[in-house]
Amino acid sequence: MNTSPFFVKPTPLQVVMLKVAAALLPAIAVYVHVFGVGILLQLLLATVTALATEAGCLKLRKYPLKPFLSDGSAIVTAWLLALSMPPLGGWWMVVLATFIAIAVGKHLYGGLGQNPFNPAMIGFAVMIVSFPAQMSRWAAPLALPGVDLDAAAQIAYIFTGSLPAGLSFDAIASATPLDMVKTALIQHGHLGDVLSGALFATGGWLPSQMGWIALAYLVGGLYLLASRIIPWQTPLAFLAGLGVLAGAMHLYDPGHYTSPVFHLFGGAAMLAAFFIVTDPVSGPTTPRGRLIFGASIGVLTYCIRVFGGYPDGVAFAVIIMNIAAPFIDQYTQPKVFGRKAKQNDSRKKGAKA
Mean pLDDT along residues 247-270: 88
Mean pLDDT over each residue of the chain, to the nearest integer: 85
| Residue 205: predicted pLDDT | 47
- Round to whole Å and give the CA distance between 185 and 256: 7
Whether the predicted pLDDT of 116 surpasses 60? yes
The backbone region for 110, taken as left when phi is positive above 0, alpha when psi lies in -120 to 50, beta otherwise, is: left
| Residue 8: predicted pLDDT | 53
Mean pLDDT along residues 53-73: 92
Cα angle: 229, vertex 46, 114; to 5 degrees: 50
More confident site: 345 or 130: 130
Return the H-helix or E-strand segment holding 13: helix 13-35
Sign of the C-alpha dihedral, residues 186, 126, 133, 52? negative
- What is the tens place of the pLDDT at every residue in 154-181? 898 899 888 777 667 666 666 677 777 7
- What is the tens place of the pLDDT at every residue in 87-107? 889 999 999 999 999 999 999
pLDDT band of 193, cuts 50, 70, 90:
low
Domain spans of the chain?
A: 12-174, 176-332
Whether the predicted pLDDT of 215 surpasses 80? yes
Return the H-helix or E-strand segment holding 201: strand 200-201
- Round to whole Å and give the CA distance between 204 and 250: 12
pLDDT band of 296, cuts 50, 70, 90:
very high
Cis peptide leading into residue 5 (ω within 30°): yes
- Round to whole Å and give the CA distance between 289 and 13: 23
For the full predicted model, state whether its pTM sits above 0.95.
Answer: no
- What is the tens place of the pLDDT at every residue in 314-334? 999 999 999 999 999 999 988
Whether the predicted pLDDT of 203 surpasses 50? no
Mean pLDDT along residues 241-268: 89
- What is the tens place of the pLDDT at every residue in 297-312? 999 999 999 888 888 8
- Lowest pLDDT segment from 201-205, 213-217, 296-300, 344-348: 201-205
Whether the predicted pLDDT of 6 surpasses 70? no
| Residue 350: predicted pLDDT | 55
pLDDT band of 204, cuts 50, 70, 90:
very low
| Residue 43: predicted pLDDT | 97
More confident site: 267 or 302: 302
| Residue 133: predicted pLDDT | 85
Residues of the chain with pLDDT > 70, as a percent, come to 80
| Residue 336: predicted pLDDT | 73
- Lowest pLDDT segment from 21-25, 49-53, 239-243, 250-254: 250-254
Whether the predicted pLDDT of 186 surpasses 70? no
